[in-house]
Amino acid sequence: MPPPRTSRAGESLEDFCRACKTDRLHTVIVVDANGTPIRVACGYCHSEHNYRGGPRIDAPSAARSTLRVISPVVAVCSSTAAAIVVV
């Protein structure tokens, strides 16, 4: 079965780097209760910035790709968020 679309601090994911002006592999620094990356650090230039919604070089439309990425994350992770609140 496919892994859930969540992230944890220390994981690597691809995101658009404003400093590099291209897609780079980033290390996740902060995630919210839904497992959505909030802040990432570029593995290439080491700049730290807000997560920008994933790689965009191969996306036909930036606005459409943002919607496509965000909605499944929110839907999948409600149980994770509840567990964190209880602890």
Distance in angstroms (rounded) separating the CA atoms of residues 1 and 17 = 31
Residues 6+ apart with CB under 8 A from 48: 29, 39, 40, 41, 42
Give min distance, CB of 71 to Zn ion, in A.
23
**Is the CB of 9 or the CB of 82 nearer to Zn ion?**
9
Residues 6+ apart with CB under 8 A from 18: 47, 49, 52
Stretch that binds Zn ion, among 10-18, 53-61, 62-70, 78-86 (CB under 5 A): 10-18
Q: What are phi and psi of 7, to 5 degrees?
A: -130, 160
**Is the CB of 45 or the CB of 62 nearer to Zn ion?**
45
Q: Does 38 bind Zn ion (CB under 5 A)?
A: no
Distance in angstroms (rounded) separating the CA atoms of residues 3 and 24 = 22
Q: Does 17 bind Zn ion (CB under 5 A)?
A: yes
Q: Does 28 bind Zn ion (CB under 5 A)?
A: no
Which of 9, 20, 33, 75 touches Zn ion (CB under 5 A)? Answer: 20
Binding residues among 46-85 for Zn ion as defined by CB under 5 A: none
